[in-house]
Structure 1
């Protein structure tokens, strides 16, 4: 029944397309002259809804589309006419034979029935394929005559690259400011405290006091070293170069304050830039989940198809993440710089799903 309904909808749509041909031909000439352009756009919108195509097009292209579409509409009408003619012939023969008659002098012999059955099925198949071909032709015309031209696509691509370059520069500047803040507020303060402790230990007269100050200085040096390693890790993990992306992602899982399940299913080699982007997407998404989501667990999945690698980070938190936030915006810029895209789905109440798609090369 589902297949029958689908073909019935296809036949109805092609029939409507054939029925609107006279209106389209009446509208095209005035529209070419700049008159009655609104009816042309209305007929084009009807055709787009009928064939299931969504295209954002300038008003002037509607006339060009209708000027060509009427040919396909007539072809669809012809296919429907032939299907109706064949169906009518089959009904007339069967009805006549059932009444004991011989329509057009054709007797209901076994080989005659087999012959007409085979020919009828072949013609039915050809007619249905003709309907599908007419629908495909209309969709092709809509996308090519109403959609962006090659020049439009080039202009859009140039605009996207210019915007991506500007966003990348802004992201680099923001990353530099963050590193400066981390060094100033963390490591630098530790080093200042270390210097003060060493100075006090040099001036201390009692050996016990000097030993205590040196012990405190040693502890402060250890904490400064840990913070320096943490800053270096946030800038770029050496593990990514030394041991590869899987090991770097496992390190993110180990350092996570929440239980993290990692699935890495990428067999093909990835480019260095892609691996770096994957690492930072996972790390930033996990960091945001730990800090803001109120989640109890995180799942990370990295998979790859023939041309695309997909990164999905999901948590069971309360949701409400803002895609325009600083961290997610930086991720979107990093992904866009590699012709990828980032999606954030975080309804109130959760869960939050961060999904990125990147080209494998």
Structure 2
């Protein structure tokens, strides 16, 4: 199921990019004539400002096209003269992509004709009867042409995006503005994550430890008031058992706040302890050549802990897999279960994890189709 979902996402992305490239091929014709006649109009001083303004409009169309279909976010604070210079190589690349599309259409038409001839027992081109090797040769050449066509589309799309990035790449002001926006969002997410954690701790103390201590106090009070030694001994025994349960609840709360093993021994022993405490079998794989920073270890641990807790509560799973590995300057943790699926990243626990990961400049994803499996992934920088 995850492979099928990834394949569907890739196909949607490819179709979206192809559509964006096709639109860019059509706009290239208008840009070509604008550059041709606009360049002549620049020799007239009174028309220069109008020509540059028109170039800015056409460049803005291209910038928005790349943002919509390819996800490229380029700067918007470029001047009109730079827009005019951009249109010169841009129309060439656009016409090149138009040529690729035309060749694809011609090749598709030729393929239909040749296939029809082969099915009618004729060799490619018609006339003579087909030989046994004609279908094989046609299939091989067709596969080669399809490969070259795809390479042509990928090449022109790459050139188109790199050209826009060169001319409209984020300026220092735009980069600073984006970073300030990201920091403001991260700060709000950190505050929200801390408040959520505080509310959870308060709830655990109120519903667990506090109730145990109240019951303990009542048992001790009854033991003091009774005049029957046997009854008092029984009450003290119950009070002792209640105190043990209160200690267990308190250890559980303190473990969820911050496990001591994480601070003293590192991420691997903390995840092993998490797996041992789970009510569902957990299969753990950790591949970390070096110990990540303490802040990253904490986020990775709590992502795994909360994901395991959610699985036990809601997924009806029989197996949980936790994988933590380092890939270059990133740490990736992936939690997979074979439960019923249907988990949403906007849910209470998972949304809190998303905020915690975002506060560390990481990426958090949840893939949980109905029927499962559920895959929770967090990628965090550790450089």
Tell me if both proteins adopt one fold, taking TM over 0.5 as the criterion. Answer: yes
Unaligned segments of structure 2, at least 5 residues: 1-21, 40-47, 97-153
Q: Tell me how far 1:320 sits from its aligned partner.
A: 1.2
The separation in 2 between residues aligned to 1:353 and 1:322, in whole angstroms, is 11
Does residue 338 of structure 1 match 2:360? yes
Classify 1:162/1:17 alpha carbon distance in 2 versus 1 (closer, same or farther; 3 Å): closer
The separation in 1 between residues aligned to 2:174 and 2:212, in whole angstroms, is 56
The separation in 1 between residues aligned to 2:210 and 2:75, in whole angstroms, is 58
Asked if the contact 2:55/2:87 (under 8 Å) is kept, the reply is: no
Aligned to 1:319: 341
Aligned to 2:299: 277
1:306 to 318, 324, 328: 328
Asked if the contact 2:330/2:379 (under 8 Å) is kept, the reply is: yes
Larger Rg: 1
Does residue 157 of structure 1 match 2:179? yes
Q: Deviations over 1:117-141 (max 9, x none)?
A: xxxxxxxxxxxxxxx9997664322
SS in 1 for 2:376: strand
Q: Deviations over 1:317-336 (max 9, x none)?
A: 11111211221121112111
The separation in 2 between residues aligned to 1:227 and 1:289, in whole angstroms, is 21
How many aligned residue pairs are there? 297
Classify 1:76/1:156 alpha carbon distance in 2 versus 1 (closer, same or farther; 3 Å): closer
The separation in 1 between residues aligned to 2:282 and 2:291, in whole angstroms, is 24
Asked if the contact 1:309/1:360 (under 8 Å) is kept, the reply is: yes
The separation in 1 between residues aligned to 2:363 and 2:340, in whole angstroms, is 24
Q: 5 Å matches for 1:171-250?
A: 171-250=193-272
Q: Deviations over 1:129-169 (max 9, x none)?
A: xxx99976643221133343332121111111112112211
Normalising by structure 2, we get a TM-score of 0.67
The separation in 2 between residues aligned to 1:13 and 1:201, in whole angstroms, is 84
Normalising by structure 1, we get a TM-score of 0.71
Aligned to 1:68: 85
Q: Deviations over 1:42-100 (max 9, x none)?
A: 56677x59xx85434588869666522344368779x9xxxxxxxxxxxxxxxxxxxxx
Q: Deviations over 1:209-263 (max 9, x none)?
A: 1111111111111111111111111111011122221110001111111111110
Does residue 287 of structure 1 match 2:297? no
Classify 1:73/1:170 alpha carbon distance in 2 versus 1 (closer, same or farther; 3 Å): closer
Q: 5 Å matches for 1:92-103?
A: none
Q: Could you tell which deviates more after superposition, 25-34 or 140-149?
A: 25-34
The separation in 2 between residues aligned to 1:294 and 1:43, in whole angstroms, is 49
The separation in 2 between residues aligned to 1:177 and 1:75, in whole angstroms, is 59
Considering only aligned residues, what root-mean-square deviation do their CA atoms show, in Å?
A: 3.6
